[in-house]
Structure 1
Amino acid sequence: MAAKEFIVAIELGSSKMTGIAGKKNVDGSISVLAVVKEDSSSFIRKGIIFNIDKTVQCISNIVKKLSNNLKTEISQVYVGVGGQSIRSIKNVIIKDLPENTIVTQDMVNELMDTNRNMIYQDQEILDAATQEYKVGNQLQSDPVGIQCSRLEGNFLNILWRKSFYHNLNNCFDHANVAIAEMYLAPLAMADNVLTDAEKRSGCVLVDLGADTTTVSVYYKNILRHLAVIPLGGSNITKDIASLQMEESAAENMKIKYGCAYTDNNDIDNTLMLPIDTDRSIESRKFIEIVEGRLLEIIENVWSQVPGEYADRLLGGIILTGGGSNMKNIETAFRNHTHIDKIRIAKFVTHTITSNNPEITAHNGMMNTILGLLAKGDMNCAGQEVTQNGDLFNAEQKQGTTPKTGDLHQNPRRPDELGSGIVLTAAEKAAAEEKRRKEAEEAARIEEERLKKEEEEKKKKSMGNVGKKVKNFIFGLLKEPEDE
């Protein structure tokens, strides 16, 4: 039987592109209806698309397979944005006000608009997390209604390369797949694996992926820093593969023998680990290879934690992703960071029901895609599909599925966006057009004002000349009378 209502999310990972469809139940739980995976290692590296044609084909394949599984056409999908080059940068916008001005929501929106319109060379603003507002000398989360003469907005802008952003949008456009919403994948996952207490008291979320490691720092329920490190589990695999073996064999060795930390007293110097039928490696040397690369990853993670929050992490460190499954990973992080409170997030906080073993494994590898699924709130189901793939009513097919450019044509204001929502290409284009028209209108008004001032000056100047001529003539006429 065809599904009538469901949500579809797609994650573009470095090793796999994953599509998932699920239905939200009245009790808040989510039932996973279908999961499809495609190998993406040949066209996505470190979360970045570098072959558009292959990516378009993969997106089309995933949507088609999900549609066949669900026996329903897919009208739109939720997409996660992540990968290398994503970084955060602080920005401050200041607005001077007349004495004793009461702050309004429009003033706050103006600060947010100004921040969103900031231009960074070759970088696109994906999201802007409001840190706090400074009203006078006090910091406030909501300044509306407070009297002041100076309003300061502190923002954390999340940036990504413009080329990466445009490639992502173009791929879905060329695949003719409508984007319901784009989310920053790290934030979508954080909202679904972190507890409110962890976000409030201060924590670091570390997503240990295959090609990248994502670091998110939270304090007082606010994202304070976000960075993607171009190192992951595959770097450990490649180091092992340097022992002259296939990467697939190296990956198997890592999974079977890999350990994040081994006490020196527990190392058996006589133990040999088999590489193949003819070769083996000393256990100590293998341990040094694995721990050496992992230590580099941990050092890079800890260097991303801003100094002002390093001693405020009462919520501790939360590890997730495939790399978090390595034995003694908590000990390795604890030894280097000296943070005792470390938790491994094996699954999202939502109740998820599924018969798929990849979902029920609870190994942290599906947390991002499940976080995107949980974010969805718009029905992605289109028309029902027959067994031969045709719609029951082929005449009505045209126009039932929105095109990629049809959604979000009216750009939303920054205050209307939720946490982690990325404006689509259509919204950005519409916003740019709106800014252009506003700039033209402002220029026209300014030109009219200057023209009016010039005319008034001329009138005043002519008036002065006329007055001088009149006085001169009056003087000439008056002189004979005086004689």
Structure 2
Amino acid sequence: MRDNIIVGLDLGTSKIACIVGDINRGNPLKMKIIGVGTTESHGLRKGVVVDIEETADSIRRAVEEAELTSGISIDSVYAGIAGGHIEGMTKSGVVAVSGKNNEITSTDLRRAIQIAQTCKITVDREIIHVIPQGCIIDDQERVKDPIGMYGVRLEAFVHIVTGAVALAQNIIKSAYLAGVSVENIVLQPLASGEAVLTFEEKGSGVLLMDIGGGTTDLILYEDNVPMHTAVLPFGGQHVTNDIAAVLKMPYAEAEAVKIEKGCIMMEMDDMIARSHTGGKRNTKAASQYILADIIQYRMTEIMGLVEQEINNNRLTFPKKIVLTGGTSLLTGLGRLVQHIFRTPMRIGYPGIENGLTDKINSPIYATGVGLVLYGGKQRRNGVDTSIKGNLFEEIYKRMQNWFKEYF
């Protein structure tokens, strides 16, 4: 595969999407989408692989379709990872500045980062990302790049994302059985943010909710830096299960009803008002009201879990919310989110203007497109993203790239 070709593989609970991008080395946002492959997902539950053979078959079909539309033979991908096993934590490391005349050097920063990332991680987990959040030099806060500055005490803050080793390996093996290698594993909300968030939103403060079939993925930005990440094991499929249980219908039929007629009850006022005939509510409108009530109940519960995640981590609620992912397309969900959080919101669409934009211009493809953009930035900076050899050295190389990217 040519160096300018990046492939993103979104492993969702309800669908698998393979996106092929022809990147612009100078500006990854100017990339051209040249291939798209989408297939129904089998073998995954709540964002994790539960059947390797079925997952591999789903990946194979998505990759083959992407190869047909792009005319490219795909051999490697950037794969997304999510699921309830994902954990994000913010840590810091403090060192005394050792440079001449108290000038901070890369060695000082390296030592601070090493201390910050030496948190207790069990043998069944691995580090997926180490994201710099800035430094404190003596009493000076919010220092973005400390190298070359002067001080006595340097404290570096990083956000560390970890996941279960076995579950990450299952992704790699499923892709291998499908005929492609995994160039890098990327946290899904981090990828989605690349596709749908603006630089201004990241700077002023924004919470991205990527609501898929099996999970709701969160990433909170402040000052253009990811401050918190989380994956909640609830999504659109839970809504479908509720509809199937309450209305006593098969899952497939419930999914079709959700997609075709699903909406949040707050959108029902005008419909219900127009549906009174002779003082009696129209039966069809009443059924629609029940459906909306089911959906609103579950989505309100998920929003409550989001609020709990923010509060439990003592985070400042951002100035804006962006929804993306397939479930974000539910009619009325935006109004419900605004009502609950009293915060401006919008639906996030991939910001790509070239290529097969008609095929990917949907929140459904936010993660897949974001994986290509993420990979494009890595290639632009000449970063080898695969972890091999000395783990800390590889993490530090990634950290250097993050500082270049964010600061």
State whether TM-score is above 0.5: yes
Question: CA 1:65/1:192 → structure 2, altered by over 3 Å: closer, same or farther?
Answer: closer
Deviations 1:323-369 (A, max 9, x none): 12112222101111111x11111x222313217x542xx33111111
After TM superposition, the structure 1 = structure 2 runs for residues 169-318 of structure 1, keeping only pairs within 5 Å, are 169-242=172-245, 243-262=247-266, 266=270, 267=272, 270-273=281-284, 282-306=287-311, 309-311=315-317, 313-314=318-319, 316-318=320-322
Question: CA 1:378/1:326 → structure 2, altered by over 3 Å: closer, same or farther?
Answer: closer
Amino acid paired to 1:161: A
Query: What is the CA distance between 1:225 and its match in structure 2?
Result: 0.9
Question: Hey, what's the Cα distance between the residues in 1 that align with 2:338 and 2:378?
Answer: 43
Structure 2 equivalent of residue 414 of structure 1 = 395
Deviations 1:417-474 (A, max 9, x none): 2459xxxxxxxxxxxxxxxxxxxxxxxxxxxxxxxxxxxxxxxxxxxxxxxxxxxxxx
Deviations 1:111-160 (A, max 9, x none): 22343443412332211122222222222222223333332222211121
Structure 2 equivalent of residue 470 of structure 1 = none
Question: Hey, what's the Cα distance between the residues in 2 that align with 1:146 and 1:249?
Answer: 62
SS in 1 for 2:33: strand
Question: CA 1:204/1:174 → structure 2, altered by over 3 Å: closer, same or farther?
Answer: same
After TM superposition, the structure 1 = structure 2 runs for residues 53-68 of structure 1, keeping only pairs within 5 Å, are 53-68=53-68
Out of 325, 330, 342, the residue aligned to residue 334 of structure 2 is 330
Out of 348, 353, 357, the residue aligned to residue 355 of structure 2 is 353
Structure 2 equivalent of residue 459 of structure 1 = none
SS in 2 for 1:34: strand
Structure 2 equivalent of residue 110 of structure 1 = 111
Question: CA 1:120/1:145 → structure 2, altered by over 3 Å: closer, same or farther?
Answer: same
**Larger deviation, residues 82-91 vs 63-72:** 63-72
**Residue 147 of structure 1 pairs with residue 153 of structure 2:** no
Question: CA 1:287/1:108 → structure 2, altered by over 3 Å: closer, same or farther?
Answer: same
**Residue 86 of structure 1 pairs with residue 83 of structure 2:** no
Question: CA 1:5/1:226 → structure 2, altered by over 3 Å: closer, same or farther?
Answer: closer
SS in 1 for 2:102: strand
Question: Hey, what's the Cα distance between the residues in 2 that align with 1:363 and 1:378?
Answer: 22
Structure 2 equivalent of residue 442 of structure 1 = none
Query: What is the CA distance between 1:97 and its match in structure 2?
Result: 4.8
Query: What is the CA distance between 1:410 and its match in structure 2?
Result: 5.8
Question: CA 1:67/1:110 → structure 2, altered by over 3 Å: closer, same or farther?
Answer: same
Deviations 1:370-417 (A, max 9, x none): 11122334999xxxxxxxxxxxxxxxxxxxxxxxxx976566643432
Question: CA 1:112/1:174 → structure 2, altered by over 3 Å: closer, same or farther?
Answer: farther
Superposition TM-score, scaled by structure 2 size: 0.82
Query: What is the CA distance between 1:183 and its match in structure 2?
Result: 2.2
Query: What is the CA distance between 1:228 and its match in structure 2?
Result: 0.9
Question: Hey, what's the Cα distance between the residues in 1 that align with 2:263 and 2:163?
Answer: 34
Structure 1 equivalent of residue 13 of structure 2 = 14
Question: CA 1:351/1:92 → structure 2, altered by over 3 Å: closer, same or farther?
Answer: same
Question: Hey, what's the Cα distance between the residues in 2 that align with 1:98 and 1:104?
Answer: 8
Question: CA 1:15/1:301 → structure 2, altered by over 3 Å: closer, same or farther?
Answer: same
SS in 1 for 2:310: coil
SS in 2 for 1:179: strand
Question: CA 1:358/1:84 → structure 2, altered by over 3 Å: closer, same or farther?
Answer: farther
Question: CA 1:68/1:283 → structure 2, altered by over 3 Å: closer, same or farther?
Answer: closer
Amino acid paired to 2:107: D
Query: What is the CA distance between 1:265 and its match in structure 2?
Result: 5.3
CA root-mean-square deviation: 3.2
Identity of aligned pairs, percent?
25
Structure 2 equivalent of residue 167 of structure 1 = 170
Question: Hey, what's the Cα distance between the residues in 1 that align with 2:322 and 2:65?
Answer: 34
Question: Hey, what's the Cα distance between the residues in 1 that align with 2:338 and 2:64?
Answer: 45
Question: Hey, what's the Cα distance between the residues in 1 that align with 2:298 and 2:374?
Answer: 34
Amino acid paired to 2:76: Q
Question: Hey, what's the Cα distance between the residues in 2 that align with 1:179 and 1:24?
Answer: 18
SS in 2 for 1:371: helix
Query: What is the CA distance between 1:168 and its match in structure 2?
Result: 1.9
Superposition TM-score, scaled by structure 1 size: 0.70
Structure 2 equivalent of residue 31 of structure 1 = 32
Structure 1 equivalent of residue 140 of structure 2 = 138
Contact 2:135 2:145 in 1 (8 A): yes
SS in 2 for 1:304: helix
Question: CA 1:118/1:166 → structure 2, altered by over 3 Å: closer, same or farther?
Answer: farther
SS in 1 for 2:159: strand
Question: Hey, what's the Cα distance between the residues in 2 that align with 1:101 and 1:25?
Answer: 41
SS in 2 for 1:199: helix
Amino acid paired to 2:90: K
Amino acid paired to 1:292: Y
Question: Hey, what's the Cα distance between the residues in 2 that align with 1:337 and 1:378?
Answer: 33
Amino acid paired to 1:17: I
Where does structure 1 lack aligned partners over 5 or more consecutive residues?
275-280, 381-405, 421-483
Max Rg structure: 1
Amino acid paired to 2:336: A
Amino acid paired to 2:152: S
SS in 2 for 1:14: coil
Amino acid paired to 1:238: N
Question: Hey, what's the Cα distance between the residues in 2 that align with 1:407 and 1:107?
Answer: 25
Question: CA 1:350/1:203 → structure 2, altered by over 3 Å: closer, same or farther?
Answer: same
Structure 1 equivalent of residue 128 of structure 2 = 126
Question: Hey, what's the Cα distance between the residues in 1 that align with 2:183 and 2:302?
Answer: 35
